[in-house]
Amino acid sequence: MSDDPLAAIVPKPEGERAIAALREEGVYDESRTVREAGEGALALPVTHPPTETDVHEVIRQPEPEVRAPGLEDLLAEQGWSDAEIERVPGSWAVIGSVILVDLAGCPREAEVGGALLELHGGADTVLARGGISGEHREPSVRVVAGAGDTETIHTEHGTKYALDLARVMFSPGNKRERHRMGEIVEEGERVLDMFAGIGYFALPMARGGARVIAVERNPVAFRYLLENAVLNGVEDRIDAYRADCRDVEVEEGVDRVVMGYYDAAEPRVDGNGEADGSYEYLPSAFGALRDGGVLHMHEATPEAELWDRPVSRLREAAANAGRGVEILDTRRVKSHSAGVAHVVVDARVGRSG
């Protein structure tokens, strides 16, 4: 008789319920991974045939996939104490061949970096990330393990991003929003991306059929924007300008404007540091949009002011420009910092009155 381990077959929709029941019964095998078992079914690893959990059948599973150990498991094997492991980061981002991780307060950084490389076999460099600073939003990073190559190509929902993580920023938490922008554009739409960076939103929108005016003033990010347009085969759909977005004239109204820089909605302040009711970038966005076009405004907003602050800023700036706005959607993208959320407001822009 075969000595291959056992697996219980259940329908996919019943997977989570069945796993919980098998754990309660004490027969779920945590050392192996769940695998698909044909169309619409899952093979759940078990140590013994279940007697209390309803499953379709129990089979022998040749060549089972062993569950990879986690970071804490690897460090524990190296002799780390429980107190040290408590200071280990609970999450990190794999961007192409680079692992980006916040190691603030973490002991033995090099050992953590080595363990992360062991967990992610396709990666070759681990970077400890600091803050973002300067007018070009430049990242602060340190190599803590691996080859030290900070340049990579990251693929996300089919879009390829070439970048140097030591020179340009990349936010893993914006992944869903980048994908969404590629899904909502229509073939032939004209879009203005006011803060294009390396093509975070411009690339998926161009791949979705839009014609994108992409503006970026950081010379390094601009070089990658051009490279990425070619890399994704959309160079004929992206008109790139290395400039301040306020200086780019759009002759005909565009269908959509993306303001992906979340400080761009900040009001101007007077000599006393008080808001004077005017805005640096929103007038340019309204000036570019056709009647009925859509604006996607990103902002870093204190939790206590959701959604009043971003919406009121948008309405005030629109009124100043003689435009009217209809709020279409408000979305929380991710946490920005303690008590502050990165949000997006979608608004249809028309003529006032």
Closest CA to 197 of 231, 175, 152, 167: 167
Total domains in the fold of the chain: 3
Pairing of strands 211-215, 238-241: parallel
* The amino acid at 117: L
Same domain for 202 and 141: no
pLDDT for 2 beyond 70: no
Tens digits of residue pLDDT in 113-153: 999 999 888 899 999 998 877 776 789 999 999 999 999 99
What would the pLDDT profile of 249-289 be if each residue is shown by its tens digit?
997 899 999 999 989 999 998 888 788 889 999 999 999 99
Output the domain CATH number for residue 180. Answer: 3.40.50.150
Asked whether the predicted pLDDT for residue 40 surpasses 60, the reply is yes
Take residue 23 and report the two structure tokens written for it: 């754990």
pLDDT at 1: 42
Q: Which residues are annotated as a binding site for S-adenosyl-L-methionine?
A: 171, 178, 216
Q: In this structure, what token pair is assigned to residue 224?
A: 């990658």
What pLDDT score does 353 carry? 60
H or E segment at 313? helix 308-320
Q: What is the pLDDT of residues 297-313, one digit of tens each?
A: 999 999 999 999 999 99
Strands 340-351 and 289-302: antiparallel
Span 236-248, average pLDDT: 97
pLDDT digits (tens, 9 = 90+) for 50-80: 998 999 999 998 877 777 678 999 999 999 9
Tokens in use for 21? 């029941």
Q: Cite the annotated binding site by residue number.
A: 171, 178, 216
Q: What are phi and psi of 337, to 5 degrees?
A: -165, 180
- Based on the fold, state whether residues 56 and 81 are members of the same structural domain: no
Q: What is the C-alpha to C-alpha distance for residues 263 and 265, in angstroms, rounded to an integer?
A: 6
Same domain, 135 and 241: no
For the chain, what's the residue count?
Answer: 353
Residues 40 and 110 in one domain: no
Residues 189 and 289 in one domain: yes
The reported pLDDT for the residue numbered 68 is: 67
**Residues 6+ positions from 284 with CB-CB distance below 8 Å:** 194, 245, 246
Which residue, chain included where needed, has tokens 């959509």? 256
Q: How confident is the prediction for the chain on average, in pLDDT?
A: 93
Is there a domain that residue 37 lies in? yes
Q: Are residues 12 and 90 in the same domain?
A: no
CATH number of the domain within which 81 lies: 3.30.300.110
Whether the predicted pLDDT of 337 surpasses 70: yes
Domain that holds residue 34: 6-60
pTM to 2 decimal places: 0.80
Same domain, 40 and 126: no
